[in-house]
């Protein structure tokens, strides 16, 4: 099947399939005489694996590791479990960071009259930094995912 079919069947966009191939995450696809990429059911299966791992928040690098483990029938499940646990920890860390932000902001919003008057504890707080430094977690733009 062509890349469009594979995309539909796997849930990975054609663009991303090409990207994954280019970066070596997945094998180079076979080509037809005229240069079209050709995909087997097995290829689609692999792409679905990638898609699901991505949905679980793994980075492409981690997914490469997972794919290697998946293909290695002699793997030790301990390795996989370790990766999963490490990832869960990263997720939880990020969650607490976001929760701190949300809690701070929610508290400020609660303190704000939200009417026609200009007085606003939210702005005052941001300006003076009365709340504890909400640590890291920048580059948040990536979170406002287009797909959300």
Q: Beta partners for 38? A: 30
Report the alpha-carbon distance of residue 116 to residue 83 in Å, rounded: 52
Residues 78-117 that bind a second copy (CB under 8 A): 78, 80-82, 84-85, 87-88, 90-95, 97-99, 101-102, 104-106, 108-109, 112-117
Report the alpha-carbon distance of residue 90 to residue 96 in Å, rounded: 10
24 binds, among DNA, a second copy, none (CB under 5 to 8 A by kind): none
Nearest residue (CB) to a second copy, 31 versus 79: 79
133: contact with DNA by CB under 7 A: no
5 binds, among a second copy, DNA, none (CB under 5 to 8 A by kind): DNA
> Do 28 and 20 touch, CB atoms closer than 8 A?
no
> Do 53 and 20 touch, CB atoms closer than 8 A?
no
Nearest residue (CB) to a second copy, 38 versus 56: 56
18 binds, among a second copy, DNA, none (CB under 5 to 8 A by kind): DNA
Q: Tokens standing for 135?
A: 């640590």
Closest to 26 measured CA to CA, from 35, 37, 36 = 37
Q: Tokens standing for 117?
A: 């008057």
| Shortest reach from residue 81's CB to a second copy, in Å | 4
Q: Which stretch binds DNA (CB under 7 A): 75-83, 95-103, 107-115, 134-142?
A: 134-142
Residues 5-44 that bind DNA (CB under 7 A): 5, 13-16, 18-19, 29, 32-37
15 contact partners, CB below 8 Å, separation of at least 6: none
């Amino acid at each position: 099947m062509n890349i469009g079919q594979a995309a539909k069947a796997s849930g990975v966009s054609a663009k991303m399939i090409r990207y994954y191939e280019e970066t070596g995450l997945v094998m180079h696809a076979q080509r037809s005489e005229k240069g079209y990429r050709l995909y087997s059911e097995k290829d689609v299966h692999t792409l679905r694996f990638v898609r699901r791992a991505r949905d679980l928040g793994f980075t492409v690098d981690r997914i490469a590791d997972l794919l290697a483990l998946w293909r290695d029938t002699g793997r030790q499940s301990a390795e996989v479990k370790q990766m999963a646990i490490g990832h869960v920890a990263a997720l939880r860390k990020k969650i607490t960071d976001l929760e701190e932000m949300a809690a701070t902001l929610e508290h400020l919003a609660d303190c704000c009259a939200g009417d026609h008057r200009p007085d606003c504890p939210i702005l005052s707080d941001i300006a003076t930094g009365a709340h504890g430094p909400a640590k890291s977690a920048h580059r948040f733009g990536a979170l406002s995912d287009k797909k959300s």
